[in-house]
Every structure is written in structure tokens, then in C-alpha cells.
Structure 1
Amino acid sequence: MTALEKYERIEATGLWRVSSEEQRRDVIVSIGDASLTITDTQDKPLAHWSLPAVRRLNPGEFPAIYAPDGDLDETLELSSEETEMVEAIEKLRRAINRRRPRPGRLRFVSIGLSSLALVGLAVFWLPEALRSHAISVVPESKRQEIGDQLLQQTQRLTGPPCADVIASPSLTALATRLDVPNLVIVRAGVHTARALPGGTVLLNRAIVEDYEDPEVAAGYIIAEKVHAKTNDPLRQLLDSSSILTSFRLLTTGGIPTDTLKDFAEEIVVDPSASPAIEDILAGFEKYQVRTSPYAYAVDPSGESTLELIEADPFVTSPNPVLSDGQWVALQSICGG
């Protein structure tokens, strides 16, 4: 029995917050697949941390405070009553670190340099060339197929897409208005909006339910479309996996399920980077949507989004995103 198998059924309760500005909330923590899964008390996934990247911020103290490497604002607290989980995390982290390869010495400098040159060619040039070629030849229909498969994998973490007979026409109208082939409202997981290969856009239900102005939701969709234009979701998928994924896509037209599963977890955990201001403005102008509602949704103070507010291309919307009735109907799509 491996260390992971020994602890994979352990569960514990803890306190989690996504950032220092958010309140802590009660969560359930479990171990599996060399990762920590954090869910709320209704078993809805909130976060997924890779064990090798988990850091303990206060070694030897309780409550034990953990954070994912690179994001110390997001924290998980485990009380002294959850010592079994704390010990399991520490043992698994040590076991994983011991298995990491350690560099040896180069005995012959000249041979070593030649070897490094060959390895560099294989490691850096060949994978990039193969990925770029795969991206350039994959047809749009195949991108949509990959996007549909990825959507199925994300549902393990986001839950099933929201659907409602009354709200469905409004969802279609919003997707048509913003030229989105498939707009999907999800219950949890995705921070705001996330584009998949083939043009599907996932939108968190909070973006629809928490704002009175449909231009906020439109803004998040436009910003994600702009991001996807300069950061191809298919390239992101291939970059996150080994060169074998690109090779298999070229030779068989498919992507392994495990690769899709891993990337689906990245989509849920990692928000998209913000595009350049000039690109965002061009996108909003193209779709005739004001930037101010989106800017104030991102930062209610307006300080960090001042450029978007001051450069708003429209004083009033020349082409409403949705009618009031359509927006009210859409806000009930998740039943809330």
C-alpha cells in the first residue's frame, strides 16, 4: 500500500478562504490523486490543490495554516482536532519530495555541454514546433469536439450547467449578442468566465445573479473572449501537457481523458489573466458595450480599473445587451 492509498479516504473539516479580503468558510478537506480537494458542506468543489505545491505557513503550530505555492492569500486552516489530516498532508508532502529527481555531477564538461545542446533542442524546440503545428492544422470542428469533452470534465468540479425553460431564450440571446457559440452558466468552480477550445464560454452564476446590469456579464464574457484570442485555449491545453499529447492529437485526432481531466482542474482553480487595456477596449467597442459596469464589478472602488472607466467608448449603450425582461429571466437560470 502506498502512502497515498493509505490516506486517500481521510476527510477533515477546516476553514478556507479564497483571498485575504474574503471571510473564512467551513469546508470539507479530502486527499486523493496527490492533491487536496476542498468542498463546501454541500459537497460542491471550491478548490483543488496539488500536494507538492502546498505550503504550511506556520510549521509546528495550530491551527495549521496551509496555502498553495504562489498564492499565499488563499488559505486553509486545520484545527488541532484534525491532527490525522495534518499528519497525512505532511507525510505525503515529504514522500513526494523524496521522489523528486536530484541533479548529479557532470564528469566531462565537453560531453556535458554537447549533451545539453542536444537535450535543449529536443526539450525546447521540438515540443514547441509540434504544438504549434498541431494548433495550426486542427479544424474548428475538432476544437469544438475537444471543448465539449473538456466541458464534461469540468462538471465534476462545477456541477451540471444551469438550465431553465424560461431563462433559456435569454441565454441564447446573450450568446448571440456577443457571438459566443456556446454560453454555459455554471454553479461553482470557475472564478468569473473561462473560454474553452471551440468557443464555449463558462460563466459563473454569481456574475448573472449578483448584478442588476447585464453589461457586467457581457463585460466578463468580452474580456474572456479577448483573452482567448491572444491566449488560444487549445494552446493552453497542449502547453499544460506533455509532447505526447500534441503527437497524439496530430496522429489520432484525440486527447487523452486524463489530460482533459487535469486541464479541467486548472480551469477551475486558475483564473484567466487580464488582457491588455487596449485589447479590452477594442473588444467592448466591437460589441458596443460600455466598459464602466464591468470595471466597477472588477473593482468597486474603480482605482485599479480607472483606465477602463475613463476610456469608456460609450456614455450609454447604443445596442442594449438584453431587455429588462430577458435579464430578469436569465437571473433565475440556476434556480436562485
Structure 2
Amino acid sequence: MTALNEYRRLEALGLWREQAQDQRREVVVSLGEATLVMSSASGTALGHWSLPAVERLNPGKSPALYAPASDSDEELEIADADMVDAIERIRAAIAKSRPRPGRLRLALGVGFTVAAMTLGVFWLPGALTRQTVSLLPEAKRVEIGEQLLVQMTNIAGRPCTGRGGRTALLRLSVRTFGTENAPQLVIFPATIPDTLSLPGNIIAASAALAEDFETPEVLAGYLLAEATRRATRDPLETFLSEAGLGVTFRLLTTGEITEEAIHAHAARLLSRDAVPVDTGALLARFEAAEISSQPYAFARDVSGESVLGLIEADPMRGGGAPVVLNDADWVSLQEICAS
């Protein structure tokens, strides 16, 4: 989902707080492609909300109050009429386009009919899976990703939510990936593999990547490696390929996936080794993010022998790389699982 073109780069002042007990502070509110970004006067990102998830807390009243989700303590107050009008129009457009159960079943049913009519082309399981993935709305991807997070929580424990950690994760995501397509980052206790990609643009990471290293470049490097891995194969396609044709057909015809299939995939994700990524593609991501690849390389192999390409071709080898996170945010991430 993208914002209406006429509202791109629209900015206004607002009052924002991260926790219910926090004092509100003045921020600059910006509309991105699919996000609402809160920044300090100096340009530091403080909050990064997904537009499809934004909730209006006081419909029809002014100034407008918004939250990133209905159950969130985070809150944003906006008095600027143009910005409020823009957000409301975008929310209305999102609500109109969000698939409803009946419409989703109809759309998927039509897709199934098309697939059946061209059975000769889409006979192979892999081709049918790819066709299903291409037909699935983004809202359904997000739903599946959230269901997998629930099952991962049942197996590996609850995600870490230490004070200040959520804001630090938002800043790390924006710093590493930019504001346009920054993934949702979720930190689990050190009971999961280093990083995992889930449908709906979600990356889960082990707290060990923050707790066991001195600089945030290591964690950022693992996130970039996971993004490189995700670009090679869609996490949803991986899920459906492993779940089998029965699950794929059920999703295609009814828009539903059984809890058993979700649980089984979550268990597989938590027990598998990471797939290696192409060094050249990974270095390109380090260069685009302006992050040194050496800390990540030595975290993987302290001797440097197996990661020599990442060390010698470090795009920031000459220095000048911007700070990944300030000290306070990095400490918040290192202690995110402490409380």
C-alpha cells in the first residue's frame, strides 16, 4: 500500500510519546510511501509506523490522536488540518482496499479458476505455489507473518520488549534499510537462530546479536544478510512449498491456513541453519546502507579466513560511515531482554 501521490513528503508538527507515562515531545511528522515517520528537530527518527496499521483514537475530534495499533501505548497528536486530512484520506483508501473475508474468498476463488483453466501451465507444485503467492494480498501476508510470530512465541518464548528497545529497533530498521521499506524487527531471547524472515516484511532476530557484541554494526550486518537471503526467495513461497499442496489449495480457495500448518512451519524455522548468501549481493547492501562489513565478518569468523571477501571489499574501509545507533539506543537493545 502506498500513500496518495499528492501527499508525498507532506510534513507537520505533532506531539508524540512512546509510553503512557512519558511526557509528550514535539516532533516532525512525515508521510512516507507506506509509513508515518516521527523525527526530532535534528532529523533523528523516533517512530516509524505502518500506515495500514495506524488507528485514529478520537474520530471527529481535534486535535487528532493516532496510535500505531489499537492496543499500543504509543500516541501521536496532530493539529495540522492538512496532515490530518491526508492521513484520514489514506486510512479511508486503505480500509476500502483491505480485503474482506468474502472478497478475499472471491478473489482467491477467481484465481483458482484461472489456475484450473490453465492447468497445463501450472501443473507442477512449484508453479502452483508461485501462482498462489502472486495472488495473495499484502494484508494476508501480514496476517500469516503475525500468526507465525504467535507460534514462535509458544515455542521459543515471548519477544523482548525492554524499555526503549522498541524505539531503538525502529531507528535501527530505518538506519539500515531506509524509510521506504524498513521491515518490522522483532527481538527474541537467544533461543532462536540468528535471524529469520517472515511474510509481511518481518525479520526476527536473536538477542545474542546485541548482547554478545560491542557494536551495532554486527546486528545490522546480520539483518542485511537476512534481507539478501529474503530477496532470493519469498518467505511465503518457502512456507507454502514446505507445507504442501493441501495447504496451498486451502489458502487459494478459502483464504485460510490451519493452525497446525502455521505451528509446523514455525518449528521448522526455529530449527534450521541459515542459507549462505552471495558475498557480492551482500556487499552491495552494506554499501547502500553505508555500514562497514568488517564487524559482521569477524562476528561470523574471528579468524577472518572464511569471510575474507567481506573484509577486503568493505565499502566503508576508508572510514566515513555514519553512526548506526547512538550509545543510548545500543544499550537499550543490549538490555532489551533484561526486563
Q: Is 2:325 the partner of 1:322? A: yes
Aligned residue type for 1:237: F
Matches within 5 A, 1:45-64: none
The 5-angstrom pairing of residues 190-201 of structure 1 reads 190-201=192-203
Alpha-carbon separation, structure 2, partners of 1:201 and 1:152: 14
Deviations 1:58-115 (A, max 9, x none): xxxxxxxxxxxxxxxxxxxxxxxxxxxxxxxxxxxxxxxxxxxxxxxxxxxxxxxxxx
Q: How far has the Cα of 1:317 moved from its partner?
A: 5.1
Q: 1:175 aligns with which of 173, 176, 179?
A: 173
In the alignment, which residue of structure 2 is the partner of 1:156? 154
Q: How far did 1:202 drift?
A: 0.7
Structure-1 separation of matches of 2:152 and 2:165 = 22
Give the secondary-structure state (helix, strand or coil) at the position aligned to 1:177: helix
Instruction: State the partner residue of 1:287.
Output: 289
TM-score by length of 2: 0.61
- Candidates 124, 127, 140, aligned match of 2:125: 127
Letter in 2 for 1:189: T
Q: Distance in 2 between matches of 1:213 and 1:317?
A: 16
- SS in structure 1 of the partner of residue 257 of structure 2: coil
SS in structure 2 at match of 1:211: coil
Shift in alpha-carbon separation, 1:271–1:252, aligned structure 2, 3 A: same
Which residue number in structure 2 is paired with residue 302 of structure 1?
Answer: 304
Partner Cα distance (1:128, 1:264) in 2? 21
Runs of at least 5 residues in structure 2 that lack an aligned partner in the other structure: 1-118
| 8 Å CA contact 2:164, 2:329 repeated in 1 | no
- 1:307 counterpart letter in structure 2: G
Report the equivalent of 2:229. Answer: 227
SS at match of 2:305: coil
**Cα drift, residue 125 of structure 1:** 4.0
Q: Counterparts of 2:201 and 2:185 in 1: how far apart (Å)?
A: 9
Question: What is the RMSD computed on CA atoms of the aligned residues?
Answer: 1.8
Distance in 1 (CA, whole Å) between partners of 2:162 and 2:241 is 36
Please give the secondary structure, in 2, of the residue aligned with 1:133: helix
Residues in 2 aligned to 1:162 and 1:223: alpha-carbon distance in whole angstroms: 22
Per-residue deviation, 1:140: 1.8
| Separation (CA, whole Å) in 1 of partners of 2:187 and 2:243 | 27
Equivalent AA in structure 1 for residue 246 of structure 2: L
Match 1:313 to one of 312, 315, 331: 315
- After superposing on structure 2, the runs of 4+ consecutive aligned residues of structure 1 that deviate more than 6 Å are none
Give matches, 1:1-336, under 5 Å. 125-179=123-177, 180-315=182-317, 316=319, 318-335=321-338
Amino acid aligned to 1:288: E
Q: Quote the Cα distance in structure 2 between the aligned partners of 1:310 and 1:329.
A: 31
Q: Secondary structure at the match of 1:169?
A: helix
TM-score calculated relative to the size of structure 1: 0.61
* Contact 1:157–1:189 under 8 Å retained in 2: no
Matched residue of 2:270: which SS? helix
The structure having more radius of gyration, on CA atoms, is 1
In structure 1, distance between residues paired with 2:325 and 2:271: 30
Following superposition, the deviation at residue 332 of structure 1 comes to 0.7
Distance, in Å, in 2 between the alignment partners of 1:306 and 1:126 is 40
Secondary structure of 2:124's partner?
Answer: helix
Shift of 1:319: 2.2
Deviations 1:103-159, CA, capped at 9 Å, x for gaps: xxxxxxxxxxxxxxxxxx99x943122101011111222111110000101112220
Query: What secondary structure sits across from 1:286 in the alignment?
Result: helix
Q: Distance in 1 between matches of 2:148 and 2:127?
A: 24
CA distance in 1 between counterparts of 2:268 and 2:338 reads: 27
% identity of equivalent residues: 41
Supply the distance in 2 between the matched residues of 1:157 and 1:293 (Cα, whole angstroms).
Answer: 31
- Equivalent AA in structure 1 for residue 209 of structure 2: I
Letter in 2 for 1:143: R
Cα pair 2:297 2:311 within 8 Å, conserved: yes
2:292 partner amino acid: R
Contact conserved, 1:150 with 1:264, CA < 8 A, in 2?
Answer: yes
Segments of 5+ residues of structure 1 without an aligned counterpart are 1-120
Q: Distance in 2 between matches of 1:186 and 1:262?
A: 19
